[in-house]
């Protein structure tokens, strides 16, 4: 009888432990910042804490915002400027990390003056370019990075403001006919800062402080692991995004040096938003944003 009771207690305790396990949905776009999220899915570093991960891509900011509202997404990598925009809409999101990579964005040019193709009018590339005051280049806005790259390659613009892997694609297709300026170098010089623009943030949706800190630490470890493994980052993104199958991701990512701040370190994103605010489509003092309960 005692053995039967012990057996039932074992089954019940196992059921309770299983019931406490959760699968959190991570989400990102087809860029390097999604690689750390995909590494969390592959390695499941928080399984001992009852937290498991899966990944679903997002395609547009409006779609991501709607998914946050529905709580279909638990943690997402998004352009930095979306953090105050989402906050102004009443979304209760916690910052669990900031990405400010070196070598991720560049002005790729054939001529030093003329039109420059810029993806997403009012988006992160547009705001960064306007802040570094390239007065000899007039913006020509495009709907996608691919369109901006194609305008450059066809000779219809003098330059394009691109992020990886489109920089690597353009340089390879032009057969040495293009030159490149690292946008981070320009940013640091113009704004007298010692960090690159915080192009991405990782936002948590309705997570406990404990879980948010665990995930922030796991993201920091993933960034560190991928910092010297461009081939791994390339493999992870190619497996998830069909559009990147033929892209030279390993070459593109070899030029990127990831830099990451955890949730309680907010200097990069705060300073970036302060710089961009005069050009930005949000009406909120970036310095007053409350990022977390650290």
Summarised one tens digit per residue, pLDDT across range 110-143 is: 999 999 999 988 888 999 999 998 889 999 999 8
Q: What percentage of the chain exceeds 90 in pLDDT?
A: 67
Whole-model pTM: value is: 0.86
Q: What angle do CA 28, 129, 286 make, to 5 degrees?
A: 65
Check whether 80 has a pLDDT greater than 70. yes
- Provide the pLDDT for residue 147: 95
Among 8-17, 36-45, 252-261, the minimum mean pLDDT is found in 8-17
Contact in structure between 80 and 269 (CB atoms under 8 Å): yes
- What is the sign of the dihedral through the CA atoms of 232, 234, 237 and 238? negative
Summarised one tens digit per residue, pLDDT across range 151-200 is: 999 999 999 999 998 999 999 999 788 999 999 999 999 999 999 999 99
Q: Mean pLDDT, to the nearest integer, of 186-215?
A: 94
Token pair for 250? 């390993």
- Provide the pLDDT for residue 7: 38
- Provide the pLDDT for residue 134: 82
Check whether 3 has a pLDDT greater than 70. no
Check whether 70 has a pLDDT greater than 70. yes
Check whether 9 has a pLDDT greater than 80. no
Phi, psi of 167 (to 5 degrees): -60, -50
Check whether 33 has a pLDDT greater than 60. yes
Instruction: Categorize the per-residue pLDDT at 294 as very low, low, confident or very high, splitting at 50, 70 and 90.
Output: low
Q: Mean pLDDT, to the nearest integer, of 266-274?
A: 92
d(C-alpha 21, C-alpha 153), whole Å: 50
Task: Supply the mean pLDDT for the chain.
Answer: 87
Each residue of 40-55: b (16+ CB within 10 Å) or e? beeeebbeeeebebeb
- Provide the pLDDT for residue 11: 36
Check whether 261 has a pLDDT greater than 80. yes
Q: Mean pLDDT, to the nearest integer, of 54-75?
A: 93
Check whether 13 has a pLDDT greater than 60. no
* Range among 15-19, 53-57, 68-72 rated most confident: 53-57
* 3-class secondary-structure state, position 106: strand
């Amino acid at each position: 009888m005692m053995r039967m009771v012990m057996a039932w207690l074992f089954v019940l305790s196992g059921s309770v432990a299983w019931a406490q396990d959760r699968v959190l949905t991570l989400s990102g776009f087809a860029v390097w910042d999604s690689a750390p999220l995909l590494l969390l899915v592959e390695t499941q570093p928080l399984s001992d804490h009852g937290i498991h991960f899966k990944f679903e891509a997002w395609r547009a900011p409006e779609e991501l915002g709607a998914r946050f509202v529905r709580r279909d997404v638990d943690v997402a990598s998004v352009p930095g400027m979306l953090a105050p925009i989402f906050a102004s809409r009443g979304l209760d999101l916690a910052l669990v990390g900031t990405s400010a990579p070196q070598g991720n964005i560049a002005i790729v040019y054939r001529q030093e003056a003329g039109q420059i193709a810029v993806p997403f009018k009012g988006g992160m590339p547009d705001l960064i370019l306007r802040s570094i005051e390239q007065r000899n280049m007039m913006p020509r806005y495009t709907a996608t990075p691919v369109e901006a790259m194609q305008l450059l390659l066809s000779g219809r613009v003098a330059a394009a403001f691109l992020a990886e892997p489109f920089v690597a694609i353009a340089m390879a297709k032009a057969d040495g006919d293009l030159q490149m300026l690292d946008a981070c170098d320009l940013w640091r010089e113009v704004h007298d800062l010692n960090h690159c623009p915080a192009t991405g943030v990782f936002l948590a949706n309705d997570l406990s402080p404990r879980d948010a800190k665990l995930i922030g630490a796991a993201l920091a470890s993933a960034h560190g692991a991928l910092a010297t493994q461009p081939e791994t980052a390339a493999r992870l993104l190619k497996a998830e995004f069909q559009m990147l199958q033929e892209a030279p991701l390993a070459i593109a990512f070899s030029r990127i040096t990831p830099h990451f701040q955890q949730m309680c370190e907010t200097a990069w994103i705060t300073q970036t938003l302060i710089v961009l605010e005069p050009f930005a489509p949000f009406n909120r003092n970036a310095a007053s944003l409350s990022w977390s309960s650290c």
